Amino acid sequence: MHSRTVDRFKRWFWQPPRAHGAIDRDRVVSNLELFYDLVYVAVIGQAAARLAEDVSARRALEFAIVFGMIWLAWLNGSLYLEIHGRQDGRTRSVVFIQMGILALLAVFAGGASSDGGAAFAVTYAVLLALMAWLWQSVRRQDAPEYMAITRVYVVAMLASVVVVLASAVLPDGPRLAAWAAVTLAWVLGFLVLAHHPTFAVSVAPTESMVERFGLFAIIVLGELVIGVVDGLSHAGTDGLAIVTGLLGLGVGFGFWWAYFDVVGRRMPRTEGPAIAGWMISQLPIALAIAGAGAAMVSLIEHAHDPYVPADTALLISGAVALGLVSLVLTASTLEDARRLPGVYRPVAAAMVVAALAALGSGWVQPAPWLLALALAAILTLLWLIVVALFLRADAWGEERPADAVMDPEAAPEPG
């Protein structure tokens, strides 16, 4: 009896990962994944703090590069859990090991663009090496048709380990350039791999995958709320500062409306390029929201100034514009965009106009409270247009289940 229990425990604790193509359509996001995502709150928060304390074009660029590295780590970790993870001891163990490395990464994230850059690079390289081993463990049991694409993926992961590790000995500028090159290479690599015949099968989107990306959007929205709170903590709680903070919070609400009413919980199309485009376009959306959160601190701290500092105005208005334009790209990859062209085409046009209006609001450099009001009003008006278009098409609040998207006969005719 005892021997049988031990054997069962061994089988449960060390099951092999699911092979490519073994997609679990009924999978739900686990508590372990929610716990895993929470570590990224700390990593992103530490990285954004440096930008929040000194808003400038240079700091914004540095933050964008570091954020890109953080997002790539999250993407690879999340895709592994989604495509290959199990509810077993092995999966739990490797996730907890990743979380430990990420906690250490958070310690160095605040100084990643300066004195903490070398330590950040070494820690990040260790994380990538672990992920490379995980993906290689999948290859050992893959069918022959997946070997070509997975070989490229593992080689790319190992090459990234070498580049990031080597960047630890570089000065700050070249180190950041190396990280930017790694991020760009991965973005382009996904778009190229998307044309491989097995990509769409091995990375087939499910409802749980869509939910994971939505959860990451909530993580960066949380950073925006933290930015408002930090700004009020530094600026005081007089009436004007509070009004500016609450209006800034309204910008966060507008981001939430725009994301979850237009692209959240909606399935991408099942072709490889659409899947890759859907994933990659989420990077600038998350970056924009996180950047706006960092800008909130400066915006509120200058609540009593007659006009917003130029760098702060550019960062927050540019973040709103970038987020909206990126949402247009994400929306273009959705199954609903093909099914409801009469909704998504005017929505895309409205988002582009709203992005231009946001940039114009920042260029004027009004008083901080007025800029926050203008951006919140732009996002609110946009949301009203979105609601009207969906209601006119009798599609408001409609969610497309994964099985309906996978089965073309189950999808209704457009219009």
Predicted confidence (pLDDT) per residue in 295-350, tens digit: 999 999 998 999 999 999 999 999 999 999 999 999 999 999 999 999 999 999 99
Residue 46 · residue 107 · CB < 8 Å: yes
> What is the predicted pLDDT for the residue at 411?
40
* Cα 375 from Cα 381, distance rounded (Å): 10
Helices (H), 110-238: 117-139, 147-167, 172-193, 199-202, 207-235
Q: Residue 88 is which amino acid?
A: D
> pLDDT of 142-181, one tens digit each?
667 677 777 888 888 899 999 999 999 999 999 999 999 9
pLDDT band at 114 (very low <50, low <70, confident <90, very high): confident
Nearest alpha carbon to residue 244 among 368, 332, 141:
368
Residue 77 · residue 100 · CB < 8 Å: no
Phi first, then psi: what are they for 136, rounded to 5°?
A: -65, -35
Helices (H), 282-367: 282-301, 310-332, 335-339, 341-364
Contacts of 281 (CB under 8 A, 6+ apart): 326, 329, 330, 333
> What is the predicted pLDDT for the residue at 92?
83
* Cα 379 from Cα 252, distance rounded (Å): 9
Q: Which helix (H) or strand (E) holds 281?
A: none
